[in-house]
Amino acid sequence: MTELKNDRFLRALMRQPVDRTPVWMMRQAGRYLPEYRATRAKAGDFLSLCKNTPLACEVTLQPLERFPLDAAILFSDILTIPDALGLGLYFETGEGPKFRNTVRSAADVAALPKINAEVDLDYVMNAVSTIRGALNGSVPLIGFSGSPWTLATYMIEGGSSKDFREAKKLMYGQPEVMHQLLDHLADSVIDYLNGQIRAGAQAVQIFDTWGGVLSSWAYQEFSLNYMKKIVAGLIRENDGRRVPVILFTKNGGQWLESIAESGADAVGLDWTTDIGKARARIGDQVALQGNMDPAMLYAPPERIRQEVADILSRYGTGPGHIFNLGHGITPDVDPEHAGAFIRAVTELSPEYHLQD
């Protein structure tokens, strides 16, 4: 493979010295960019864009052409696995993802097929290999998946939910069925992420978007345990270097110690957790990724810069910090404000790495 010219992101994930704090944004290829909206219109709809290899590659690279980011992330969706399991994923304007079929019983779980990700999700693997080639070693490529719990909520609810009523009904009323579903999904995610790694992903992130809606014991049993299984089953070295794993649980600040013991190399933080306190708790075990409130990008550029300075100061000196938002960038953000954010990180962070 082509030699990596900028490995700052990968080095920071391994808590190795860097010249400045690396930065990327969750959902960095997305609706806030006019060029993305134009490409999506060309594709016809979101799912068609995900499945069109040249266009998926195009939108993955778009933010890198605008901003000095330190990583690219595969353009795809966390719900590709449930779609491959035959649930019929579709998107309705203004309503988010929906499924034509749901999973709410032992019989539904038993009927789920075993997927071969490199065959059933070949369009994702084609996108990974195409993007990796197009990057030509400029920055690393991140692959990703949803966590088993997060995928399960969509599969059970049939789409997004405010109270997760059906998912919790199954979890509390028939825990053995929920465990069967989560185990099946964990195996699918392992296969899926390993396929992405073989195709060229140089780091992977597990998005546990809805882990934070669980009680403390339920999070450990129904979410974190299955992410641990995934981490243990992943290819951890490829192309002669380690493939780091990032776990991100939204609203997971109360479980940082448990997440840090999962075997992952980095813990993603949302904006509700103080990064300085998080570093004091777990920063000698793992790298930390985050964690500016995405809504801060609505503020004037000088306020954004002030917030970046504050987060850098709270983390302090030394390696192990990957700057990111605390969740995905929102669609109506001015790209100039995203640029101000990234510029602030690149300009203000070197002083925190002088001794390295």
State the binding site for substrate: 27-31, 77, 154, 209, 327
Structure token digits, residue 23: 């930065």
- What is the distance, to the nearest Å, from the Cα of residue 213 to the centroid of all Cα atoms in its chain? 18
- What is d(CA 126, CA 261) in angstroms, rounded to the nearest whole number? 33
- What is d(CA 295, CA 320) in angstroms, rounded to the nearest whole number? 24
Q: Identify whether 40 is a catalytic site residue.
A: yes
Q: Identify whether 154 is a catalytic site residue.
A: yes
Helices assigned H by DSSP within 67-174: 80-82, 106-110, 117-120, 122-135, 148-157, 165-173
**How open is the CA angle 175-177-178, to the nearest 5 degrees?**
65
Catalytic entry in 37, 40, 198, 281: 40
Catalytic entry in 8, 11, 15, 27: 27
Kindly provide the b/e burial profile for residues 327-355, where b requires at least 16 CB atoms within 10 angstroms of the residue's own CB.
Answer: bbbeeebebebbbbbbbbbbebbeebbee
Beta-strand ranges (E) seen in the chain are 72-73, 89-92, 96-99, 141-146, 203-208, 237-238, 241-242, 245-249, 266-268, 287-289, 321-322
> Is the sign of the CA dihedral 37, 38, 40, 44 positive or negative?
positive
Q: Identify whether 20 is a catalytic site residue.
A: no
Catalytic entry in 32, 36, 154, 192: 154
Query: Nearest-CA neighbor of 48 among 78, 84, 81, 77?
Result: 77
Catalytic entry in 7, 20, 70, 77: 77
Distances (CA, A) of 196 to 53, 58, 127, 182, 264: 14, 18, 9, 21, 17
- What is d(CA 20, CA 231) in angstroms, rounded to the nearest whole number? 28
Beta-strand ranges (E) seen in 158-307 are 203-208, 237-238, 241-242, 245-249, 266-268, 287-289
Give the phi and the psi of residue 30 in degrees, each rounded to 5.
-170, -165
Catalytic center residues: 27, 31, 40, 77, 154
